[in-house]
Amino acid sequence: MKYTLYIGTNKYSLSTEDDILKLSPSNFECQHKILIGNMDILKSVQLAYRKLFKKSIDKFNKNNTKKEIKSYYCKINESLKQSLAVGILIKINEKNYKNLDEEKIIELFLNQVKVIKKLLKNFYIVSAALYFEKSLTLRIIGIPYIKDKSNELEIRVSKSSCFTREKVRELRLNLQIQANRDFLKFFVNKTKVITTDKKKIDIRQLELFKGYRENRI
């Protein structure tokens, strides 16, 4: 099984609105299924900014009338140092998955999303779409943030605090374990049912993640 993970690199470093729009489901010709969010990912990001940062911005503006932030979304979009959002790509190239019902394929990738939500508490997922390409591909868009009461802007965008090297390493491992678990659930158990002599099942055929690749931020 070939498992690929990209986090915030290359075109998944979503610095501006234009970068986000490039990942819009309408830009991909293949069949897709939206797991979180909707087709209008840009509007979803804008609404998420309001939900996450409005109270913090209002408090900041009240205490800093000369440095008022009229639109935090526009401020980050125009920034040369910060990303508006972060993209995550998970790709599984396993021909056996083509034989699964769509319902089970969706379950597999929803489990990947659950792992991300569990480990990245300060990563607000705006969009998650599954693409039925040559390889099954999950594209996630989210907003990383930090809560810091010692800062004038108590809640703010922060890619670096959300995706530390240690956290990326932990995330990679747990996503890998989850995909491994689902693979065994969907295929090994099925094999045991149809095999008359269970002792003859060659587990060596299940060399999971032999071609695993990771791109870190």
Summarize pLDDT for 80-137 with one digit per residue, the tens: 889 999 999 999 876 767 677 888 889 999 999 999 999 999 999 999 999 988 889 9
Q: Report the domain count for the chain.
A: 1
Rounded mean pLDDT of the chain?
85
pLDDT for residue 197 = 47
> Within 10 Å of residue 97's Cβ, how many Cβ atoms?
19
Quick one: CA dihedral 23, 15, 92, 178, positive or negative? negative
Domain enclosing residue 176, as ranges: 2-215
Q: Distance (Å, rounded) from C-alpha 155 to C-alpha 114? A: 23
Instruction: Read off the CATH number of the domain in which 210 is found.
Output: 3.30.930
Place of tokens 């607000």: 124
Backbone angles phi, psi at 183, to 5 degrees: -60, -45
Place of tokens 């032999």: 210
Cβ atoms 123, 86 nearer than 8 A: yes
Beta strand 213-215 with 2-7: parallel, antiparallel or unpaired? parallel
Q: Distance (Å, rounded) from C-alpha 90 to C-alpha 210? A: 16
Give the CA dihedral 33, 39, 44, 45, nearest 10 degrees: 80
β-pair partners for 130: 33, 138
Summarize pLDDT for 159-200 with one digit per residue, the tens: 999 999 999 999 999 998 998 888 888 776 554 444 444 444
β-pair partners for 179: none
Cβ atoms 131, 87 nearer than 8 A: no
pLDDT for residue 10 = 77
β-pair partners for 144: 123
Summarize pLDDT for 22-44 with one digit per residue, the tens: 999 988 988 999 999 999 999 99
pLDDT for residue 137 = 93
Place of tokens 């240690």: 166
